[in-house]
A and B are shown apart, each in its own frame.
Chain A
């Protein structure tokens, strides 16, 4: 197969390395080193996509990440299909399959193009003005139609099988962009020995120099200079070179995010597809270059109309002739350079139309010497050609003469826009440079400097020197021992200038190609009072397409300035938001996927519980045993059995997830006394107390056991979910309110495995392990350090079931041994292991509340029956709030028990309580069910509830209205068994 538009010589592609690929099913050949765009051009394919709104045929406009038109879907098999990729950035590989988007039935014949019939109607913001006869019509008719028409590619089907990686890095100097400025900076910085990272979004480093055909640097051709410099850099140990890596976000404190594409250029790979680098750099050098601007004139969007420099890139770097005959629209001298390069490669240049009234210009002379006709003061006014441009009309400004020219390649050189995105993201201030017609960096905020074209330097010599200086300076300020000894690279090339070409009004003069925004749209927005750039952007959607306005921003401003007779500088600028180019979700997510999405926390006893047949549930990041079914048991039957066993004999429970905090220091007692509503100052060593912590607003925040181990040392337990929150709350008070207190906080949650032994036989299980010590001497709420099976353990005598209970804190690693021993002893007493569900039922039978279930951030201790809590204390967090009128107002929701009248219906947690059986909508709720279980002990369902004036309602009959009918309930005390609480003391 031949590639009709491939040149015979030159370029950086590997001609010996032919690669097969397909576009819309058509088999084609390119070379290694091609992008999809260059390979398509080499094959004479110019029509690549359709625009979003009018489905206009579109070709390849640019050669880099600014491409708005040539978006394709890459097909690699379901989960690997990727929409909306730029042909200009896709490196071809053997077997690559690309498909065009947003057309039906085919790219060349697209029915969607009928939208053009309505284009007079479909101007900016039309949808705000119509489609609103009613909500139903919008929802059922218009919105679905709009949604169907919108959107570009299709999302992949199925899950992406590729892996993504993540890396954090520190460096002294991060250099972004490996064009002449970046390379010179890298050499200068690396020479000082500091740690350097150099990244570039392209596959090859060298930037604009890769498209250079005739410049020498330091006495050799530019590309050779690049190659040898890179070889030198690779040899440095202190530099990381990252090609295919886009710096996409610049955050506070010189934190820069990079996305590295590692495998998309290969047919298959076992490596992660992309990698997110999160780099903290002491100094940053921005060498991000500049982007050429299109010209705005009628029908400037046809396939075959291209940026002048892009054509140069295709020719010089990719060895592709982007057309057979070209016309160059040169509002900037760089257009002449493109024309001369094309001319030298044998592509006839029909005309250089220069809208400027050029007087003396060396470029004009060079062009004329080459025999190219130059028409000064001439601007484009229209083009023709359906799937490919073939004709251009120009007008001579002074005489008004219209001329018609024929060419299948029209190049636009509208001047250059420095790439200031990252500078702006770093919060640096921009300034509008009249001469360049673009914004350039003005005042830096972070430790960063711009070099080369991204700060408006377009002379290669100056750029190299600027890069060198920036690299050397950055290295020195980042701490390099000496000034860089690298030499400053030099070259000779004529200087280029340009003026901002004025937009030329008329139909179909596109400003934003992908979103089909024309001059008329912007003018309409201005007419309708949208004066600010941000408004114009939002009303017309200019700059909001996937190229993020890289080509349209400045032209939008130019159109606005022209229409309102204002200076561009006065218009302001829309903000540059991350990312610089779109970043794959998977890259940002990295390894956080599947089981690693949130690392699973397991207790030290997890394996033992799993062996016991536990069914686990997620509690925050923890896996906790919910119940231990025997063969044939479901949740319900297992829990009934477990409950009965604990009440009758003894049960074993893994309580390791409870938060544990070691609080120590001379002021520990005072500190805890102030943080908890429960008095703790007078707690004697060896004793523990059930304690409640309040928020500043007086609401119950957490609860747990606070044990005093010695005068200055406490062991505090928190709820499982509250562990981190409580520690942070403690730290907050310690550091901001009472910084003078001598207290140290240490999380010891993971230091201990905690086994709860509960039930009338708990003591019988434990006693044999404790040799000489008599357990009876450990009173309820006592705490003691013991040895158990030779292992030092901390024993609490506490009960959350109403039975005699112990909680044994064992060094985490020894947990399994102790569990095994106790498990056997428990079995010997006829007991069993029990899970979360049983724990919940047992505590509910006793009326013990659970933070987050009976409480919801609006509940005060009095609501839960702890009315006297803290009364005697001088002060504690939340005390003041408890005195507020609402806390004492009648009608507060109080904790009560509920029994269904029928004795069999189990209420639904969250169900509401009303007086009426069939409350009309809008009825005020009296409260709600907080917990509901089947009680084995009572042989019936029980429930806890928060009920308005609940304590005075005990004995009343109320209703729980459900969709299926009302359930009648009796209000009872929340304590269903052993109200005197004697069992736990037995």
Chain B
């Protein structure tokens, strides 16, 4: 049954008893054309586009927990495409265009809210870097504009632009099309749409091994619910990618860190947009429920523990209280962490691997939610054609051999 006002109204009269399951809970079959590991946003989107754009519907998505329970369901959902390098602009803008119609495409309100993402400059170096972004983005045809401190305050009234602040705001780069979305709905929307086309989403089923023949070609996976055969295996397991790739004997240039976020108690709307301050390590927006959603930094040490350290959180709140003095008396309601997978150049890895039939999509680190539709879209094409989609090509694993890195972090020092 389609999701729309009329069906909702009709169901209201009958106690909503007519809604079908949004996705099935199937038993795994013994073989699939494609198996995806990880039912996060990226894995589910990949399955969806495989079915929809490439007609490959005999697909399973394996999930060790519950779908959307990884970083997809833990992130601060900042979406923007004003990246510096052309390769990055291409993939994030590809995603941005898909975001704009995603609710309609999936028939699921993912609440993509283009309320503007504002990145604050606190020193001359920030100014220089953000202006460079603005100019590069303009050339690429991507919206990003420079605001003075006063204009920034007009756009976001609670912002403290006092020149006496410890790190006064010198200006800001604003991407008006940037914004946020409802993370769970993205996972659920893709899951429902993929399921509808025949994709099996198998939850509570961890992949524990990868089978390859004597030529090293992938033949299937071992799971906690038995063996599943496949000749094409796509991995979209974020922070746990290294562990899975090691099952195929491959070592990935990835490090895993806990990254934290928190929300305040819900309050009436005060913050109209997304604000990012990299220099002071704070990211903030207000959810439709009224909670302030705040992103902190990563711990300094590698870990798979989903609890980060307290001092990382307090450091971020120091900054939030400075930027938005009205928040000092508000209260932290929930604080959590996710394991992010970080590459040496802080750009993702999408594409083929040295093992035939094995594809990988990872390394999105602290900023991959925004890429979800675009990443799934190009990863599906890559798997379907056994050859990198043009937008994915620069992000191959191979770049660490050629040295053609795409270093956003060094250029921008912005992580989400």
Contacts and interface: CB of A to CB of B under 8 A. Distances in A.
A698 interface: yes
Contacts of B407: 699, 856-858
A162 B321 CA distance: 13
Contact of A257 (B115, B310, B409): B310
Contacts of A921: 139-141
Interface in B332-358: 332-336, 344-345
Contacts of A912: 135-136, 138-139
B104 A132 contact: yes
B8 A126 contact: yes
A151 B267 contact: yes
A830 interface: no
A593 interface: yes
A528 B189 CA distance: 13
Interface string A888-913: 01000000000000000000111110
Nearest to A530: B22
Contacts of A123: 12, 16
A146 B265 contact: no
Given A128-B109, A856-B410, A884-B403, A252 B328 contact: no
B402 A885 contact: yes
Contact of B167 (A524, A546, A598): A598
Nearest to B337: A577
A323 B133 CA distance: 65
A83 B185 CA distance: 29
A17 interface: no
B59 to A, nearest CB: 18
Contacts of A150: 266, 288-290
Contacts of B73: 534, 538
A593 B12 contact: no
A856 B84 CA distance: 11
Contact of B135 (A592, A887, A911): A911
Contact of A585 (B69, B138, B140, B327): B327
Interface residues on B, range: 35 or more
A600 B166 contact: yes
Interface in B12-28: 12-13, 15-17, 19-25
A4 B20 CA distance: 54
B290 A857 contact: no
Given A151-B290, A153-B268, A884 B401 contact: yes
A840 to B, nearest CB: 10
A857 B345 CA distance: 9
B328 A129 contact: no
Given A527-B19, A697-B403, A81 B8 contact: no
Contacts of B167: 597-598, 618
A26 interface: no
B128 interface: yes
B319 A583 contact: no
B174 interface: no
Contacts of B139: 912, 914, 919, 921, 923, 925, 961
Contacts of A524: 16, 19
B243 interface: no
A531 B333 contact: no
Interface stretch (B45-53, B117-125, B214-222, B226-234): B117-125
A866 B123 CA distance: 29
A143 interface: yes
B148 interface: no
B329 A585 contact: yes
A232 B4 CA distance: 67
Nearest to A127: B109
A852 B185 CA distance: 40
Contacts, number: 310
Contact of B22 (A147, A529, A597): A529
A420 to B, nearest CB: 16
A579 B124 contact: no
B250 interface: no
B331 A134 contact: no
Given A538-B73, A577-B335, A597-B322, A139 B114 contact: yes
A857 B326 CA distance: 37
A43 B19 CA distance: 48
Given A139-B113, A160-B328, A579-B335, A697 B345 contact: yes
Interface string A80-91: 111110000000
A873 interface: no
Nearest to A152: B266
Contact of A857 (B69, B313, B409): B409
A589 B21 CA distance: 45
B112 A135 contact: yes
Interface string A44-83: 0000000010000000000000000000000000011111
B411 interface: yes
A64 to B, nearest CB: 17
A870 interface: no
Nearest to A592: B318
B272 to A, nearest CB: 9
Contacts of A127: 109, 111
Contacts of B166: 594-595, 597-598, 600
Contacts of A128: 3, 108-109, 182, 185, 188-189
Interface in A550-597: 577-579, 582-586, 588-590, 592-595, 597
B258 to A, nearest CB: 11
Given A595-B166, A886-B404, A925-B86, A857 B410 contact: yes
B269 A148 contact: yes
A246 to B, nearest CB: 11
A528 B305 contact: no
Interface string A99-138: 0000000000000000000001101001111111011001
Contacts of B314: 276, 588-590, 592
Interface in B249-264: 264
Contacts of A141: none
Nearest to B203: A532
B31 interface: no
A121 B9 contact: yes
B86 A924 contact: yes
B320 interface: yes
Given A577-B336, A922-B140, A151 B17 contact: no
**Most chain B C-beta atoms within 10 Å of own C-beta, residue among A138, A147, A155, A249:** A155
B19 A528 contact: yes
Nearest to B100: A135
Nearest to A883: B403
Given A129-B3, A530-B22, A151 B289 contact: yes
A588 B334 contact: no
B246 interface: no
A529 B24 contact: yes
A488 to B, nearest CB: 36
B325 interface: yes
Contacts of B405: 697, 858
20 contacts: A123-B12, A128-B185, A135-B103, A138-B111, A139-B114, A155-B267, A155-B268, A252-B307, A276-B314, A520-B15, A528-B19, A532-B65, A585-B328, A588-B318, A593-B318, A697-B405, A884-B401, A886-B402, A911-B132, A928-B135
Closest 5 CB pairs of A and B: A857-B410, A151-B290, A921-B141, A910-B132, A884-B403
Given A151-B266, A427-B307, 20 more contacts: A84-B266, A126-B8, A138-B113, A155-B158, A155-B270, A155-B327, A249-B335, A527-B19, A527-B21, A578-B335, A579-B333, A582-B332, A585-B317, A588-B317, A597-B318, A885-B403, A910-B133, A912-B136, A912-B139, A914-B139
Interface of A: 52, 79-84, 120-121, 123, 126-132, 134-135, 138-139, 143, 146-148, 150-160, 162, 249, 251-252, 255, 257, 276, 278, 425, 427, 520, 524, 527-532, 534-535, 538-539, 541, 546, 548, 577-579, 582-586, 588-590, 592-595, 597-598, 600, 617-619, 696-699, 852-853, 856-858, 881, 884-887, 889, 908-912, 914, 919, 921-925, 928, 961, 963
